[in-house]
Amino acid sequence: MSFDRTPLLRRLGGAVPEEELDLFDSLGRIGKKYAVGHDLGEECRADETIMIIQHGWTMTYKLLRDGSRQVIDVNLPGDVLGMRQILFNYDEYRVEPITEVFAQKLPADIILRALGKSPEIAAQVMWAMMSDSAFAPERLVSMGRREAPKRVAHFLLELGARLDRVNLSHKNGYLCPLSQTDLGDILGMSAVHVNRVLRDLRERKFLTFRIGRVQFHDRDLLNDFAEFESSYMERRLN
């Protein structure tokens, strides 16, 4: 079986020894499709399982009493869902597909026992499970201090860098199913404000976000404009 197409293994890069890759084979690749609107977080809690996204995008969000929504995170292929739902009380948070999702569903106790057989792989997989915590400080800085154009540009560059790790982007952009309303709920902006900012970024020839595609016109220039450094996303485990 070839593992080079597995998003999680792409994300881990060369950190996993070749001789230990058969551990992932033992966990299996049988997965299931989930439709938009299905709460994956509730399913993980109820069944005490984790999910590894193979295809599709999800978002973790919280509904407030006034009906508004704050998106906590966007999950991409190669991301691991469910660990926080199992370890903590996340009953008020939903993890919902924004596209059709195909994911492996694995009992938490089985995968943890299997990973116990390989401390090296366990360390790398735990990194993959927890690395989303690295995004929170940058998101907080964006919402608190970055002007709206830089806030939007920084987030779209971050998504591009995350997709780079799993070979689902290219130098000039990537497919993106997020709506302007989604972007607003992620970045604390109204959809109308997001629309104005995207128009401004397009007119300044930084990027275009249209019809489900983000296109960078000059990625290096945009990195400088948004003060985007990908070092906070890099793995420190060797």
* Residue range 89-110, pLDDT digits in tens: 656 688 999 999 999 888 877 7
Same domain, 91 and 161: no
Q: Is residue 46 part of a domain?
A: yes
Q: For helices 148-165 and 180-187, give the axis angle rounded to 10 degrees.
A: 100
Q: Is residue 1 part of a domain?
A: no
What is the mean pLDDT of the segment spanning 153-176? 92
Q: Which domain holds residue 168?
A: 146-233
21, 51, 94, 141 from 89: Cα distances, Å: 33, 18, 12, 26
* Other CB atoms within 10 Å distance of the CB of residue 18: 8
Q: Is residue 140 part of a domain?
A: no
- pTM value is 0.84
pLDDT at residue 94, as a whole number = 86
* Domain end among 133, 165, 196: 133
Same domain, 213 and 172: yes
**CATH number for the domain harbouring residue 163:** 1.10.10.10
**CATH number for the domain harbouring residue 43:** 2.60.120.10
Same domain, 128 and 172: no
Same domain, 160 and 125: no
Q: Evaluate if residue 14 carries a pLDDT over 80.
A: no
Same domain, 53 and 112: yes
Classify residue 164 as exposed, middle or buried by CB count within 10 Å of its CB (0-12, 13-18, 19+): middle
Same domain, 129 and 150: no
115 three-state secondary structure: helix
Same domain, 19 and 73: yes
Q: Is residue 94 part of a domain?
A: yes
- Domains contained in the chain, number: 2
Q: What are phi and psi of 72, to 5 degrees?
A: -90, -40
* Other CB atoms within 10 Å distance of the CB of residue 188: 15
> Any idea which of 14-28, 102-116, 144-158 has the lowest mean pLDDT?
14-28
Same domain, 99 and 17: yes
Same domain, 55 and 123: yes
What is the mean pLDDT of the segment spanning 172-181? 96
Rounded Cα distance, 57 and 112, in Å: 25
Q: Tabulate helix, strand, coil % of the chain (nearest 5).
A: 50, 20, 30
* Other CB atoms within 10 Å distance of the CB of residue 161: 17
> Residue 238, Cα to own-chain centre: how many angstroms?
22
Residue partners of 134: CB distance under 8 A and separation at least 6: 232, 233
Same domain, 58 and 127: yes
Same domain, 68 and 154: no
Q: Are 103 and 54 in contact (CB under 8 A)?
A: yes
What is the mean pLDDT of the segment spanning 207-223? 95
HSE, CB side, 13 Å, CA atoms: give it for residue 62.
Answer: 8
HSE, CB side, 13 Å, CA atoms: give it for residue 78.
Answer: 23
pLDDT at residue 3, as a whole number = 41
